[in-house]
Amino acid sequence: MKTNILLLLIWLTSISCMAQYQVNADQLEKGYYMNPIFPGDYPDPSILVDGKDYYIVHSSFEYYPGLLIWHSTDLINWTPLTHALKTYVGSVWAPDMVKYEGKYYIYFPASNTNYVVYADNIEGPWSEPIELDIESIDPGHITDDEGNRYLYFSNGSYVPLSKDGLKVTGELTHSYDGWKIPREWSIECFCMEGPKLFKRGDYYYLTVAEGGTAGPATGHMVISARSKSPLGPWENSPYNPITRAQSNDEHWASVAHATPFEDAYGKWWMIYHGYENGFYNMGRQTFLMPLEWTNDGWYKLPDDASLSKPVKMPEGKHPKKTYSLNDSFDGKTLNPAWRFFEEYNTDRFELTDENLIVEGKGEGVANSSPILLMPSHHAYTADIELEVEGDAVGGLILFYNKQAFSGILADSKNILTNLRGWQFVTEKDVIKRKVWLRLKAVNNTVDMYYSLDGKNWTKTENSAEVSGLHHNVLSGFMALRIGLVSMGKGKVIFKDFKYTPIK
Instruction: Give the pLDDT confidence score for residue 10 in this predicted structure.
Output: 32
Phi, psi (degrees; rounded to nearest 5) at 473: -100, -45
Q: How many CA atoms lie within 13 A of 261 on its CB side?
A: 22
What average pLDDT score do residues 474-503 get?
Answer: 97
Instruction: Give the pLDDT confidence score for residue 321 in this predicted structure.
Output: 66
Task: Tell me the C-alpha to C-alpha distance, in Å, between residue 401 and each of 31, 397, 406, 471.
Answer: 40, 11, 11, 11
Phi, psi (degrees; rounded to nearest 5) at 282: -85, 0
Instruction: Give the pLDDT confidence score for residue 13 in this predicted structure.
Output: 33
Instruction: Give the pLDDT confidence score for residue 322 in this predicted structure.
Output: 67
Give the model's confidence band at 25: pLDDT under 50 very low, under 70 low, under 90 confident, else very high: very low
Residues 435-444 have pLDDT tens digits of 999 999 999 9
Instruction: Give the pLDDT confidence score for residue 107 in this predicted structure.
Output: 98
Residues 121-137 have pLDDT tens digits of 999 999 999 999 999 99
What average pLDDT score do residues 343-364 get?
Answer: 95
Q: Is the pLDDT of residue 5 over 50?
A: no
Strand 339-341 to 63-64 pairing: antiparallel
DSSP conformational letter for 18:
H
Instruction: Give the pLDDT confidence score for residue 472 in this predicted structure.
Output: 96
- Tell whether pTM > 0.95: no
Cis ω for the linkage preceding 233 (within 30 of 0): yes
107 and 92 Cβ atoms separated by less than 8 Å = no
Q: Cβ–Cβ contacts within 10 Å for residue 48, how many?
A: 20
Residues 93-105 have pLDDT tens digits of 999 999 999 999 9
Residues 174-187 have pLDDT tens digits of 999 999 999 999 99
Strand 221-227 to 203-210 pairing: antiparallel
Q: Is the pLDDT of residue 1 over 60?
A: no
Residues of the chain with pLDDT > 70, as a percent, come to: 94
N residues, the chain: 503
Residues 28-67 have pLDDT tens digits of 457 999 999 999 999 999 999 999 999 999 999 999 999 9
Residue 487 CB partners (closer than 8 Å, separation 6+): 360, 361, 362, 363, 364, 365, 367, 368, 392, 393
What average pLDDT score do residues 357-384 get?
Answer: 97
Instruction: Give the pLDDT confidence score for residue 484 in this predicted structure.
Output: 98
Domain ranges of the chain: 33-312, 339-501
The pLDDT mean for the chain works out to: 93
Query: Residue 476: is it exposed, middle or buried by C-beta count within 10 angstroms (0-12/13-18/19+)?
Result: middle
Q: Is the pLDDT of residue 410 over 60?
A: yes
168 and 160 Cβ atoms separated by less than 8 Å = yes
Query: Residue 346: is it exposed, middle or buried by C-beta count within 10 angstroms (0-12/13-18/19+)?
Result: exposed
Give the model's confidence band at 216: pLDDT under 50 very low, under 70 low, under 90 confident, else very high: very high
Fold adopted by 339-501: Jelly Rolls (2.60.120)
Among positive and negative, which fits the CA dihedral 336, 337, 338, 340?
positive
Equal CATH topology for 33-312 and 339-501 = no
Query: Residue 136: is it exposed, middle or buried by C-beta count within 10 angstroms (0-12/13-18/19+)?
Result: buried
Identify the H or E element spanning 2: helix 2-14
Residues 298-337 have pLDDT tens digits of 999 999 999 999 999 999 988 876 678 999 999 899 999 9
Q: Is the pLDDT of residue 388 over 50?
A: yes
First-last CA distance in the chain: 27
DSSP conformational letter for 44:
S
Lowest pLDDT segment from 6-20, 70-84, 203-217, 390-404? 6-20
Q: What is the C-alpha to C-alpha distance for residues 254 and 289, in angstroms, rounded to an integer?
A: 16
Q: Is the pLDDT of residue 19 over 80?
A: no
Q: Which CATH superfamily hosts domain 33-312?
A: Glycosyl hydrolase domain; family 43 (2.115.10.20)
Q: Is the pLDDT of residue 20 over 80?
A: no
Instruction: Give the pLDDT confidence score for residue 387 in this predicted structure.
Output: 98
